Structure 1
Amino acid sequence: MLLGNKCDIERKRKVSKEMGEKLAKDHGIRFFETSAKSSINVEESFLALAQDILYKSTKKPRSAGREVKITSSTEKQPSKCTIL
């Protein structure tokens, strides 16, 4: 998650909303602009982060390698192994 803070102080802005959105999109992550003082997107960003953590923690892990079939002259059925 990319979080831009103090979005209520426009005159001190260093990064545009569009730049933040593009950076987050390029990295495949969420983007929020927040302001604790004005209560803008604070709860929403925490809830989104919690949802993402919950989703990722319940996903079945995938193998990082590729599947290769190995056979020998004594085996009738090919076995499988994973190269990491």
Structure 2
Amino acid sequence: DRLSKEILRWADAFLLVFSVVDSSSLFLAERLLDSMDRNRRPTLLMANKCDLEHARAVSSRSGQELAVKHGCLYLEVSAAGNTQESRPTPAFLALAGMCLLQELQQSSSCFSARNIWRQIVSRSEKQRLQSDIPRRLVQKSIFL
């Protein structure tokens, strides 16, 4: 249990997969979601085996409700990939996109004037400008 929490702490995103033909897998996914401290990490709840409609034990609505409850993205896929919509590749791309978006949002908070100053002006140029500031202030104060 301690190891699981340690693993969950360093993750950038979470992908929980359950089988639509096994209701206990949805229950396990729900328990994991309840126990996870996601700290706003991107989470994708993925229902697998959606091509096996005849054996379905978990409704789409149940999966969607669980995803809404936990603020997750929800997708139904099939490893068989019978249709373009059911292939898992878009799900992985969606999760990667969520990670990228979160990273951009977090890094945008570093765009303070001070950080922009550091990035734009080189160190030697910054030192020259800083040494000129007192001299310019003195020159302006003489004319006042």
More strand by share: 1
Counterpart position of 2:88: 42
- Higher Rg: 2
* 1:36-75 to 2 correspondences below 5 Å: 36-37=79-80, 38-39=82-83, 40-60=86-106
Q: After the TM superposition, which parts of structure 1 deviate over 6 Å for at least 4 consecutive aligned residues? A: none
CA distance in 2 between counterparts of 1:30 and 1:41 reads 16
Q: Could you tell me the TM-score, scaled by structure 1's length? A: 0.65
Matched, 1:26 2:69: yes
CA distance in 1 between counterparts of 2:71 and 2:87 reads 20
Cα offsets for 1:17-68 (capped at 9, x unmatched): 0110111011111000001212514122111111011111222278xxxxxx
Unpaired segments of 5 or more residues in structure 2? 1-43, 110-144
Unpaired segments of 5 or more residues in structure 1? 63-84
* 1:45 partner letter: A
* 2:95 partner letter: L
CA contact (8 A) 1:32 1:45 kept: yes
Q: Could you tell me the TM-score, scaled by structure 2's length? A: 0.39
Task: Using CA pairs under 8 Å that are at least 6 residues apart, name the structure with larger relative contact order, 1 or 2.
Answer: 1
* 2:106 partner letter: K
Give me the identity figure in percent: 37
Matched, 1:16 2:59: yes
